[in-house]
Structure 1
């Protein structure tokens, strides 16, 4: 066996078929060729969270069982993958299982693999999203929770939503383009109670949405804005639901309006966490930072520190630190940021 120096090299040498997903902010496929470049430090990790890469690795050997690893590896200040973590993890796997990655794990081996600094347990919603994605890829049936959810969406009245399962929302999201599901979701969206709406929006974060549903979500935002006291959490969830859709002018215009008329910590967190691509627009980035500057200093520091690690936003944000046209409030917030960094 030749020297193993990357995770993809290891999985290939072990004779596995595998695929990679990012699980940081939402479920996203990560192309093998791109990850190989990341492993060679030829490009930064595209979706850092807390200066780490959060990965799901799905693999199997021919006609063998399917396995999942959930791995978190640190990134350096440039967003490049630090090679020590993956190498140490692979050494642990080889020591525990060898190179075949097959057979049943006994309790001692399973505990040894689980007790290391590079594995993590994903949030329940991300686990449901990944399970739904893989089930569909493998042509497996949806969970038993999908049918009750569809029945509820057809007539969303009363308290029946308490019995709906999270996995049903993830299964529905994976099938959102199906001709019997898309109209059902679009029609029910204006009438859903908040707990159901929030669960639906969370599930939709990880899938590409048909234009009809993107329009229905924007319409529900309009509906919420027209209320006497719009709910900031509802507006934030409706924005988050569009996380896997590419930026487009209509949504950016809506975000601009929300930032200037109904800014809230929930909205700022939603944009920074799920829609950072929209902030590549200079006008929207300025509106976002101005709104962020009026919140608590801790939130400004937290979100600025996260966004500046994103390769697509780093130069723009660093430029904002010395923008002569920024407001007094933004200038103070940036000054406080420098003071905190020097403390």
Structure 2
């Protein structure tokens, strides 16, 4: 059996499962099966590397046996070109086959991969967001916490009474903005939300392709946060708008940040690099952003850390490497780049 199985896709097919693959390192993004196969065959680099790894969620189920899907959360190392290290994937596949054969669903599979070195547990926010998104994709009911979250965002309970609103409920609400009056209620509620709700909510919205009207509201909110020098509000705005359908609005907010006095704040810079990274595919914006990182002084390794993170992203890598050869850059940026090779 092992000789016939060269990829995870083949392993899942051989087990007779229906399956989907997602990147969950940055945004939760469904990977097309052809794209996933090309990644596995190292024909293309992994599109969303994070900390030198591919962070994957593989959802699979045996239609005949159960409607409830199983999920593997897997972390595989990538090489310097962000291509999958096939040996690690092969090692995982062999461990699965040794432990389970091709019976990867059912009671036999429970707990068998708990100590597998490639398996990880996402943080609570990511797990809640993934669970909510999967239920939407499978057209299943939301969790038991959803209705209470709906009630909270409608304003009925009072926005100060957030203590009983579950993170899973917030995730279910964020993933269902096109249901009922959820979007309208959220837009009305947004200016009044306490930070205790705003932070987990923005951690969910960063996985949602929000519509332009809400993105415009978030842009205005973010611009006001810059004026007020409110870092928490600005980070929430950046995270929430990061996957907006109108990426031009996301770029407007990023540009406003880079032209403001908040352009060297570590949390702001890390949020742009980690969540609004697609806006940095523009070489001119990337130049300004890296210059801001170079001028940051509080965290010694911030520039190196962000450079290492971004140079791994295939759509940004050529522009960032081009920056190394650019002549018209500030002395501060030139020194920061020099330290990369010292």
Normalising by the smaller structure, the TM-score range is: over 0.9
Residue 206 of structure 2 corresponds to 205
Residues 53, 74 of structure 1: 8 Å contact kept: yes
The CA distance in 1 between the partners of 2:300 and 2:182, in whole Å, is 43
* 1-structure distance, mates of 2:283, 2:106: 53
- Classify 1:158/1:28 alpha carbon distance in 2 versus 1 (closer, same or farther; 3 Å): closer
Distance of 2:87 and 2:181 partners within structure 1: 48
Q: Could you say if the C-alpha distance between residues 177 and 319 of structure 1 is closer, same or farther in structure 2, counting changes exceeding 3 Å?
A: same
Return 5+ residue gaps in structure 1 as ranges.
none
SS of structure 1 residue aligned to 2:71: strand
Structure-2 residue corresponding to 1:133: 133
Q: Kindly report structure 1 stretches of 4+ aligned residues shifted beyond 6 Å.
A: none
Separation (CA, whole Å) in 2 of partners of 1:309 and 1:267: 20
Kindly indicate whether the alpha-carbon contact (under 8 Å) linking 1:259 and 1:288 is maintained by their aligned counterparts in 2: yes
Structure 2 distance, partners of 1:158, 1:187, is: 11
Which residue of structure 2 lines up, in the alignment, with residue 270 of structure 1?
Answer: 271
Conservation of the 8 A alpha-carbon contact between 1:308 and 1:317: yes
Question: 1:256 — aligned with what?
Answer: 255
Number of residue pairs aligned between Structure 1 and Structure 2: 334
2:223 matched residue in structure 1:
222
Q: Paired residue for 1:326?
A: 329
Q: Is the 8 A contact 1:297 1:336 kept in 2?
A: no
Which whole-Å deviations, capped at 9, do the CAs of 1:9-67 have from their partners, x for residues lacking one?
11111111000111112211111110101111110000001111011111011222321
Question: Aligned with 2:163: secondary structure?
Answer: helix
Distance 2:254 2:127 in 1: 29
Instruction: Kindly state the Cα deviation for residue 101 of structure 1 after the two structures are TM-superposed.
Output: 1.9
The farther-off stretch of 270-279 and 191-200 is 191-200
Give the conservation status (yes or no) of the 8 Å contact 1:51–1:79: yes
- Asked if the contact 1:53–1:73 (Cα under 8 Å) also holds between the matched residues in 2, the reply is yes
**SS of match in other structure, 1:84:** helix
The aligned counterpart of 1:93 is: 96
- Aligned pairs for 1:1-20 (under 5 A) are 1=1, 3-20=4-21
Instruction: Judge which range, 31-40 or 242-251, deviates more.
Output: 242-251
Deviation by residue 1:250-273 (Cα, 9 ceiling, x = unmatched): 332321121121221111111100
Query: For residue 239 of structure 1, what is the aligned residue in structure 2?
Result: 238
The 8 Å contact of residues 189 and 220 in structure 1, kept in 2 or not, is answered as: no
Unmatched tracts of structure 2, length 5 or more: none
In structure 2, distance between residues paired with 1:289 and 1:4: 43
For 1:62 and 1:152, the matched residues in 2 are separated by: 36
- The reply to whether residue 283 of structure 1 matches residue 288 of structure 2 is no
| Residues 1:34 and 2:35 aligned together | yes
Residues 56-107 of structure 1 show CA distances to partners (whole Å, capped at 9, x for unaligned) of 111011222321111111111111111111111111111111112233037x
Deviation (angstroms), 1:247? 6.2
Deviation at 1:224, TM superposition (A): 2.1
In structure 1, what is the Cα distance between the partners aligned to 2:171 and 2:248? 28
Partner of 1:181: 182
Distance apart, 1:198 and its partner CA: 1.4
Q: Tell me the TM-score normalized by structure 1.
A: 0.93
Alignment of 1:103-182 (within 5 A): 103-105=106-108, 110=111, 112-155=112-155, 157=158, 159-182=160-183
Q: Is 1:310 aligned to residue 289 of structure 2?
A: no
Contact 2:145–2:166 at 8 Å: present in 1 too? Answer: yes
Report deviation, 1:129. Answer: 1.0
Q: 1:149 Cα shift?
A: 1.9
Which segment is superposed worse, 253-262 or 147-156? 147-156
Residues 20, 30 of structure 1: 8 Å contact kept: yes
Q: Does 2:25 align with 1:21?
A: no
SS of aligned partner of 2:82: coil
Where 1:21 maps in the other structure, the secondary structure is: strand
Q: Distance in 2 between matches of 1:234 and 1:158?
A: 16
Q: How far does residue 187 in structure 1 lie from its aligned partner after superposition?
A: 1.0
Change (3 A) 1:207 1:94: same
